[in-house]
Amino acid sequence: MATERKKNAVGEEMQYSLFKDAMHRLAANKLALAGMIVVFLVILIAIIGPLITPYDFLSQDLDYRNKPPSAQHWFGTDDLGRDVFSRVIYGARTAVIVAFSVTILSYLIGIVLGSLAGYLGGKVDAFVVWLIDVFMSIPSLLLVIVINVSIKPVLVNWMDARFLETQNQFYRNTTWVDFAIVFGSLALIKWPKAARIIRGQILSIKNKNYVLAARAIGVPTSKIIKRYIIPNSIGPFIVSISSTLGESMVLESSFSFLGVGVKPPIPSWGNMISDGLRVWQVYPHILAAPALVLAIVTISFSFLGDGLNDALNPRQWK
Amino acid sequence: MSELLVVRDLETQFKVRAGRLHAVNGVSFSLKQGEMLGVVGESGCGKSVTMMSLIRLLPPSASITNGSVMLEGLDLIKANKQQINAVRGSKIGMIFQDPMTSLNPFVKIGIQLSEGLIYHKRMGKREAYDRCAQYLDLVGISNSRHRLEEYPHQLSGGMRQRVMIAMALVCEPKIVIADEPTTALDVTIQAQIVELVKELREKLNASIIWITHDLSLLAGMADRIMVMYAGCIVEEACLRDLYKDPRHPYTIGLLDSIPRIKNDENLRLKSIPGQPPNLMQKPSSCPFASRCAFKTERCERENPSLAFAPGEIEGSSHKIACWVDTRGRQ
C-alpha cells in the first residue's frame, strides 16, 4: 500500500490531492470500508425504497398476523399483518431523512456561530461559548419532550385552522409537523457540538506556526484559508459529521421508541422496536429485524468515522 | 556596503487586559548588504517582536505605534497589505524557531516550498519545483526530487529546519531573519545549521539577522551584535568589540554568566541579580538601573539613549545606552 503510493508520487504527474491519499488509506482499512459500504447501502435503499419494497408499509393482512420470516415475508409480519421487511426499508428512509436534515441544520447553525466565534473572538466568542454551554446543559430528552408538548399542539392547531379556512389538503397532513419538530429539536441538541468543533479548529489553526510561516513568505490570506486552515480542520470536521449522522439516527430512534419522535403509522426503527418489545418473547422477529438493522447501521457509522479520522490525518500515516 | 534596511524609533505595544505592554521602545538600527547582525537578549526583551514588526507579522493584539522601517525606499510600517505581502518572502525571508510545527502537516514539502516562487516570481509549477529541488540540494538534503513529494512528518527535525531555511531562501530575499533557528535542535544539528547558514550567506550574499539568547553561538559568525534589554538596544558593537570590550553593564553581566570550561578556580557561575522590569509602563529611567552595579543617581531619573561609547572616536560603531563610563571598573 505504502509503496504503491510512493510510486504514484514519483511518477509523471505531481498532482497534490489530500483526498486521493485519504481514499487510499480508507480503502486499506477493512472495517472502515465495510462501514462505508453499509452506510452507502442504507442511503441507497432509502432513496430507492419504494421500488424494492414487496408490500406497502401500511397495507394490513389481518389473516396473516405475527408470522415468522418466510419466502413471502422475509422478516415476517407484525401484529397488524404488515410486512416487516417493507417497514424496515421505510424506516431507513425516515432515519436517513432525519439524519441528513438534522446534520445539515445543526452544522449550518454550528458553522455560522462557530466560525464567528473563532474568527472574531472577544465578546462574540464569549457569547457563543455561553450559548453553547447553556444548550449543552439542558438534558436532551427533556428538551425534546418540552418541545413536543408545548410547540407541537400549537402547530397542529394552526394547521387545522388553516385547513378549515382554505380547504387545502396540504394542511391536513400533520406528518410534516412531526418531521419538522424532530429535525428542529434534534438540531437544537446537536448544534453546540458542531459549533464547538469548528470554533476550536479555527482557533487552534489560526495560531499555528505554519500559518505564521506561510504569512512570512507572503502567501495571501485567501490561499492560507484554502490551503492551510481548511485542510487542517477538515479531518475532525468530516469525522464529526459522520458521527453526527449516526448519532442523529440513534437519537431519532430512541425518541420514537419513547413516543416523542416520529409518530406511527410512519415507520421508524424506534417505534418498530417499541412495538416489538411488547411481544418479543412470543414473536422475537418483530423486535429483532429493526433492532439488528439499527445496530449494524450505528456500528457502521462509527467504523466509518474512525477510518475517516485515521485517513484524513497524515500525522498518523506510517 | 550601503545601508539596506534602516529602522528608526520603532515602538511596538501589546494590548493586554491590564493595559498596554511596551514590548519595543524606540529601536533604531540599520543593516548593510551582506552583513550578519546578531541580536541577543533574554526572553521577553523584545528581540523577536522587533524583527516581526519589520514585516508586520504580529498577533492582532500588537500594534506598531511609532517608527519607520525603510527598505529600498518603501516604509514597511506605512505600506499597504499588497506591498507588505510582496516584501514578505521575496525581500525579507524568515526562519522560525520550531521546525516541528512550522510546516503544514497536510501539504507536501514541494508545494510549501514552491508557494513563494509561484506567488512572487510568477513561476510555473514545474519551474518552481526545479528551483526548489536546487535549494534542497543547497541546504544539504539528498534525494531532493523525492523529498519534494514527502510530507513534513516524514522528515527529521534537522531536515525540517533545512527545509525551513530553503523556504526562506528560495525567493532569494536580500534579508533573512532567523528567529532562534537552532533553539529547538540538539547541539550537533545546531552546529550543522550554523555552518550551513554561514556557507549560504557567502554563496547568496544575503544579509542575515540572527536572533538568539546564546552569545557564544554568535561568536563564530556575526559581524555585528546588538544587545537588547526591556525593548531597547542597550549596546551595539562589532563582534570583536563586544566580546573584548563590553561597555554596558548588562552586556558585561551577560558575558560573565557564560559558563567557562576552563574554570580553574572552581567559582560559582555569575548571574545578574534581580528581574527584568515590568513593561506595563514605558521606562522613564534606565530599565536596567535596578539590577545595575554601576548605578548612579542620574540612571533613576533619565533613560539613556543609544550613543557612542565613551572614548570611541566618531565613526566607530560601538554604541551603548548608558550614563556611566564603565571602562576600568569591572
**Nearest Cβ partner for A10 among B57, B107, B149:** B149
Rounded to whole angstroms, the Cα distance separating B143 from B136 reads 9
- Asked if pLDDT for residue A186 goes beyond 80, the answer is yes
Instruction: Name which of A9, A218, A231 is nearest B90 (Cβ-Cβ).
Output: A218
Contact A314 B105 (CB under 8 A): yes
Does B58 lie at the interface with A, CB-CB under 8 angstroms?
Answer: no
Most distant CA pair in chain B, distance: 66
Predicted local distance difference test score (pLDDT) of residue A213: 87
β-bridge partners, B308 = B319
Q: Does B261 touch chain A (CB under 8 A)?
A: no
pLDDT of residue B129: 92
Residue ranges in chain B whose pLDDT is less than 50: none
Q: Report yes or no: B211 and B225 within 8 Å, Cβ to Cβ.
A: no
Q: How far is A233 from chain B (nearest CA, A)?
A: 10
pLDDT for residue B210: 92
The model's confidence at residue A4, banded by pLDDT at 50, 70 and 90, is very low
From A204's Cα to the closest Cα of chain B, the distance in A is 12
Q: Residue B164: list chain A partners with CB under 8 A.
A: 213
Confidence (pLDDT) at B265: 67
**Is the full-model pTM beyond 0.80?**
no
**Total beta-carbon pairs less than 8 A apart between chain A and chain B:** 95
How far, CA to CA in Å, does A315 sit from each of A278, A303, B108?
Answer: 50, 20, 12
Give the pLDDT of residue A105.
Answer: 92
A78 pLDDT higher than 50: yes
Q: Which band of pLDDT confidence, cut at 50, 70 and 90, is reported for residue A9?
A: very low
Judge whether A168 is closer than 8 Å to chain B, CB to CB: no
pLDDT band at A10 (very low <50, low <70, confident <90, very high): very low
Grid cell, residue B212, equals 538568539
**Is B327 within 8 Å of chain A by CB?**
no
**Mean pLDDT of the region A9-32:** 65
pLDDT of A3 strictly over 70: no
Best probe of the B interface among A217, A227, A315, by most B CBs < 10 A, is A217
Q: Is the pLDDT of residue A41 over 80?
A: yes
Q: Which of A208, A219, A317 lies closest to B115 in CB terms?
A: A219
Q: Is the peptide bond before A265 cis (omega within 30 degrees of 0)?
A: yes
Q: For chain A, first and last CA: distance in Å?
A: 11
Residue B86 to residue A215, Cβ atoms within 8 A: no
Question: Which among A212, A217, A232 has the least Cβ separation from residue B89?
Answer: A217
Report whether pLDDT(A13) > 60. Answer: no
A8: pLDDT strictly greater than 50: no
**How far apart are the C-alpha atoms of B294 and B319, rounded to whole Å?**
18
Query: Nearest residue of B to residue A121 by CA position?
Result: B60
Q: Which of residues 123-142 of B touch A (CB under 8 A)?
A: 125, 129
Least confident of A168-177, A186-195, B22-31: A168-177
Taking CA atoms, A200 is separated from A194, A296, B277, in Å, by: 10, 31, 35
Residue type, A205: I
Q: List, edge to edge, every strand of the sheet that includes B92-95.
A: B92-95, B175-179, B207-212, B36-40, B224-229, B232-238, B319-320, B307-308
**Of A73-82, A191-200, A213-222, which has the strongest mean pLDDT?**
A191-200
The pLDDT confidence band at residue A195, using thresholds 50, 70 and 90, is very high
Q: For residue A6, what pLDDT band results from cuts at 50, 70 and 90?
A: very low
**pLDDT at residue number A137:** 92
From the list A9, A223, A231, which residue is nearest B106 (CB)?
Answer: A231
Strands ordered across the beta sheet of B3-16: B19-32, B3-16, B62-71, B74-75
Mark residue B89 as left, alpha or beta (left: phi above 0; alpha: psi -120 to 50; beta: remaining).
left
ipTM: 0.80
Quote the DSSP letter at residue B88.
B
Contact B317, B223 (CB under 8 A): no
> Is there a contact between A220 and B119 if contact means CB atoms under 8 Å apart?
yes
Q: Do A216 and B106 touch (CB under 8 A)?
A: no
- Residue where the block lists cell 512550522: B102
Round the average pLDDT of chain A to a whole number and report it: 81
pLDDT tens-digit readout, A80-118:
778 888 888 888 888 898 899 999 999 999 988 988 888
- Residue B258 to chain A, least CA–CA distance (Å): 31
For residue range B162-172, what is the model confidence (pLDDT) as tens digits? 898 888 888 88
Q: Among A234, A238, A226, A229, which residue's Cα sits nearest to residue A207?
A: A229
Q: CA B143 → CA A1, A10, B110, B139, B158, distances in Å?
A: 22, 12, 13, 12, 16
pLDDT, residue A131, reads 94
- Choosing among B16, B81, B103, B104, which should be mutated to test the A contact, i.e. which has the most A CBs within 10 A? B104
The answer to whether residue A12 scores a pLDDT higher than 60 is no
Say which of A10, A209, A317 has its CB closest to residue B102.
A209
Q: What percent of chain A has pLDDT over 70?
A: 92
Q: Are A92 and A46 in contact (CB under 8 A)?
A: yes
| DSSP symbols for chain A | -HHHHHHHHHSS-----HHHHHHHHHHH-HHHHHHHHHHHHHHHHHHHHHHH-SS-SS---TTS-SPPP-SSSTT-B-TT--BHHHHHHHHHHHHHHHHHHHHHHHHHHHHHHHHHHHHH-HHHHHHHHHHHHHHHHS-HHHHHHHHHHHHHHHHHHHHHHHHHHH--GGGG-THHHHHHHHHHHHHHHHHHHHHHHHHHHHHHHHT-HHHHHHHHTT--HHHHIIIIIHHHHHHHHHHHHHHHHHHHHHHHHHHHHTTSSSPTTS--HHHHHHHHHHTTTT-HHHHHHHHHHHHHHHHHHHHHHHHHHHHT-GGG--
Name every chain B residue with its beta carbon within 8 A of the beta carbon of A10.
Answer: 145-146, 149
Q: Using one digit for the tens of pLDDT, what is the confidence trace for A126-143?
A: 999 999 999 999 888 888
